[in-house]
Amino acid sequence: RREERDSEWQERVVQIRRVSKTVKGGKKMSFRAILVVGNEKGQVGVGVGKASDVIGAVRKGVADGKKHLVKVPLTSSNSLPTVALGRDGAASVLMRPAAPGTGVIAGGSIRTVLELAGVKNVLAKRLGSKTPLNNARAAMMALGALRTHKAAAKERGIPLQQMYS
């Protein structure tokens, strides 16, 4: 049963970096892995893992990504319902819904986050920092802040038809 649950999840490595810490005896080398985990059905997460070997760092990153999942509302054309802005550190991400057939127009780690979330038609722009981790986290912030029109109408206590008039 656990294998069935894990098989729907896809994981992609965004970056693997060798980092070092200066200790009394010299430098201690370790690896940092940034991973994106998603099921292409509206759930996605970004995780970071650090270990003395790459495989351990990737395993920790996957576990961290599954802990920080975000539910993404998708339209019938597998696009975003509204414009989304996300910010993490100096990285800003702007995402706009796109017409069917557009594809995922995004760069760097933002593209990976959107693809694993199941978004098929979107225009995204990275603003500010080029750091992959901050960009991925900014994309997660933007996707986490999204609401459908139905949810927004319910929150405001008005009928859905009034939202469009």
Q: Taking the domains of the chain in order of start, what are their residue ranges?
A: 1-70, 73-152
Band of residue 6 on the pLDDT scale cut at 50, 70, 90: low
Question: Could you read off the pLDDT of 77-131 as tens digits, one per residue?
Answer: 999 999 999 999 999 999 999 999 999 999 989 999 999 999 999 999 999 999 9
Select the CATH number that applies to the domain covering 1-70 from these four: 1.10.20.10, 3.30.160.20, 3.30.1360.70, 3.30.2420.10: 3.30.160.20
Residue 75, phi then psi, degrees to nearest 5: -85, 180
Looking at domain 73-152, which of 3.30.2320.80, 3.40.50.1470, 3.30.230.10, 3.40.640.10 is its CATH number? 3.30.230.10
Q: Which helix (H) or strand (E) holds 62?
A: helix 54-67
Q: Give the tokens for residue 49.
A: 């893992």
Comparing CA positions, the residue from 19, 80, 9 lying closest to residue 54 is 19
- CA–CA separation, 10 vs 150, rounded Å? 29
Cα(162)–Cα(99) distance, integer angstroms: 24
